Structure 1
Amino acid sequence: MNRDIYPLLGYNINVISHFIQNLFNEKLSEYGLTHSQAKVIYFLANHGEQSQTDLQKRLYIKASSMNGIIESLLKNECITKHNCPNDKRSKLIKLTDRGVQLDKTIWTIAQNLEKEIGVGLSDEEQQMMLSWLEVIQKNLKHLKERS
Structure 2
Amino acid sequence: MEINQCINYLLTISQNKVFQYFSESLKELKITPAQYGVLSCLWKNTPQTPKQIGSTLYLEASSISGILDRMQKNELITREIDSTNRRNILIYPTAKANGLKADVERIVEELNSHFLSDLSHSEQEILKKLLLHIIDK
TM-score normalised to structure 1 length: 0.87
Give the match for residue 113 of structure 1: 111
Alignment match, 1:142: none
Is 1:32 the counterpart of 2:26? The answer is no
Which shows bigger deviation, 33-42 or 53-62?
53-62
Moved over 2 A (4+): none
For 1:49, the equivalent position in structure 2 comes to 47
Per the alignment, residue 96 of structure 2 pairs with: 98
Give the Cα–Cα distance (whole angstroms) in 2 for the partners of residues 57 and 132 of structure 1. Answer: 20
Higher mean C-alpha deviation, range 40-49 or range 8-17: 8-17
Structure 1 unaligned blocks of 5 or more: 140-147
Structure 2 unaligned blocks of 5 or more: none
What is the alpha-carbon distance in structure 2 between the residues aligned to residue 28 and residue 18 of structure 1? Answer: 15
| Cα drift, residue 31 of structure 1 | 1.6
Distance between the aligned counterparts of 2:126 and 2:51, measured in 1? 34
2-structure distance, mates of 1:125, 1:59:
25
- Structure showing greater Rg: 1
**Displacement, 1:115?**
0.5
Q: How far does residue 50 in structure 1 lie from its aligned partner after superposition?
A: 0.5
1:136-147 → structure 2 map (5 Å cutoff):
136-139=134-137
Q: Which amino acid aligns with 2:18?
A: I
Note the C-alpha offset of 1:10. Answer: 2.2
TM-score (norm 2): 0.93
Count of aligned pairs between the two proteins: 137
The one of 124, 127, 134 equivalent to 1:126 is 124
Letter in 2 for 1:9: I
- One-letter code of the match for 1:25? S
- Note the alpha carbon deviations across 1:48-106, whole angstroms, 9 max, x for none: 21012211222111111111111111111111111011222211001111111122221
1:78 corresponds to: 76
SS in 1 for 2:91: strand
- How big is the alpha-carbon RMSD for the aligned residues of Structure 1 and Structure 2? 1.3
The whole-number CA distance in structure 2 between the counterparts of 1:21 and 1:124 is 24
Identity %: 26
Give 2:16's aligned residue. Answer: 18
SS in 1 for 2:86: coil
Aligned to 1:65, what secondary structure does the other structure show? helix
SS for the counterpart of 1:80 is strand
